[in-house]
Amino acid sequence: MKHFTRLSDVKKPQKLLKNALKLKQDPLASQKLGKNKTILLLFFNPSLRTRISSEKAALNLGMSCIVYDASQGWKLEFEQGAVMNIDRAEHIREAAGVISQYADIIGIRTFPSLTDREKDYADAILYQFQEYASVPIVSLESATRHPLQSLADWMTIEEFRKKKKKPKVVLSWAPHPKALPQAVSNSFLEWMKVADVDLMVTNPEGYDLSPEFTAGIPIEHDQRKAFEGADFIYTKNWSSFEQYGQRLEVPEDWTITPDKMKLTDKAYFMHCLPVRRNVVVADKVIDSKRSLVLHQANNRTYAAQAVMQEILKSL
């Protein structure tokens, strides 16, 4: 594997999953692999889990890790041929080229603008880094996808699924006071398509995700109906794709409550975090024994470690 920005970068996803689960049993098994190697994590947007779990993964592999808060640094220019006489002090071409000389792998977190759909969905910042850097690029959540999260979520589902039943996995929209990206949800669908599960999405009218990600997956606009018989409820808020980046009026209550969870087949509750309690999910659900949120967050380390391990082997 050269880069890790989306599922299609991974030749054998099942093997990557297996490696992540194996690393979890013995996280320090490959401590020599990363010796004298450096990963640089570049954050254009905030993070708690991704930042710490990725650093921990790098340390487990014996790598050095540099974290750079790019929101505090020079404003970068991404347009080709730009006359840089306003506020952007440095072009992506130099920035990516320079960082490539300091690091063997670059991780990048960059959220969408939520104003320009075409630009966001081209994931221009991430892929320009890929173009102008000379080392592998790992997505730490881009405008369209969050593959490290999806791999950790897949690990979690594998660990908790009943052995003899193909689980029904429901991705459910939930309310949120702010307009959020679609990346986590897009990516979850992308990865669940290669997992052995029955997948369904439920969201209010107007909130259907991009057809690029929902193709072949049933979309149910009645949340209660979708929850019937579910084994995993994966919850996430996202802003509208159709009315791009907007928060639309939703008359019904979409918060995940104990009542709704009773419609499921004793489903586990999942969320990538950070989560707004009693807006996205009721305390009683997230605090219940069926909540896997901390387990998911723990798996982020081993997902990142499996990805870094595969990239290090290819250097």
Binding site for ligand AN0 (CB under 6 A): 141, 180-181, 183-184, 272, 274
Which stretch, 45-53, 83-91, 119-127, 283-291, contacts ligand CP (CB under 6 A)?
45-53
AA letter at 259: D
Residue 105 interaction partner, one of ligand CP, ligand AN0, none, beta carbon < 5-8 Å per kind? none
Alpha-carbon span 227 to 146, nearest angstrom: 24
Nearest to ligand CP of 38, 47 (CB atom): 47
Q: How far is the CB of 146 from ligand CP (least distance, A)?
A: 6
Q: How far is the CB of 176 from ligand AN0 (least distance, A)?
A: 7
- The yes or no reply on residue 272 touching ligand CP (CB under 6 A) is yes
Alpha-carbon span 41 to 108, nearest angstrom: 6
Residue 20 interaction partner, one of ligand CP, ligand AN0, none, beta carbon < 5-8 Å per kind? none
Write down the residue that tokens 């018989």 correspond to. 229
Which stretch, 30-38, 41-49, 74-82, 280-288, contacts ligand CP (CB under 6 A)?
41-49
- The yes or no reply on residue 294 touching ligand CP (CB under 6 A) is no
Tokens found for residue 211 = 């057809």
Nearest to ligand CP of 184, 201 (CB atom): 184
Among 19, 30, 50, 239, binds ligand CP (CB under 6 A): 50
- The yes or no reply on residue 187 touching ligand CP (CB under 6 A) is no
Task: Give the residue from 160, 167, 159 showing the smallest Cα distance to 25.
Answer: 159
Alpha-carbon span 149 to 300, nearest angstrom: 6
Nearest to ligand AN0 of 34, 181 (CB atom): 181
- Sequence-ordered list of residues with C-beta below 8 angstroms from that of 289, at least 6 positions apart, any chain: none
Which stretch, 68-76, 96-104, 212-220, 268-276, contacts ligand CP (CB under 6 A)?
268-276
Residue count (the chain): 315
- The yes or no reply on residue 273 touching ligand CP (CB under 6 A) is yes
- The yes or no reply on residue 47 touching ligand CP (CB under 6 A) is yes
- The yes or no reply on residue 271 touching ligand CP (CB under 6 A) is no
Q: How far is the CB of 264 from ligand CP (least distance, A)?
A: 23
Task: Give the residue from 302, 300, 310 showing the smallest Cα distance to 2.
Answer: 310
Instruction: Please state whether beta strands 38-43 and 64-69 pair in parallel, antiparallel, or not at all (unpaired).
Output: parallel
Tokens found for residue 85 = 């006489």
Alpha-carbon span 298 to 292, nearest angstrom: 10
Nearest to ligand CP of 33, 273 (CB atom): 273
Residue pair 96/76 in contact (Cβ under 8 Å)? The answer is no
Nearest to ligand CP of 226, 280 (CB atom): 280
- Touching ligand CP, residues 102-161 (CB under 6 A): 141, 149
AA letter at 97: G
Residue pair 109/45 in contact (Cβ under 8 Å)? The answer is yes
Task: Give the residue from 108, 199, 121, 207 showing the smallest Cα distance to 154.
Answer: 199
The binding site for ligand CP (CB under 6 A) comprises 47-50, 141, 149, 272-274
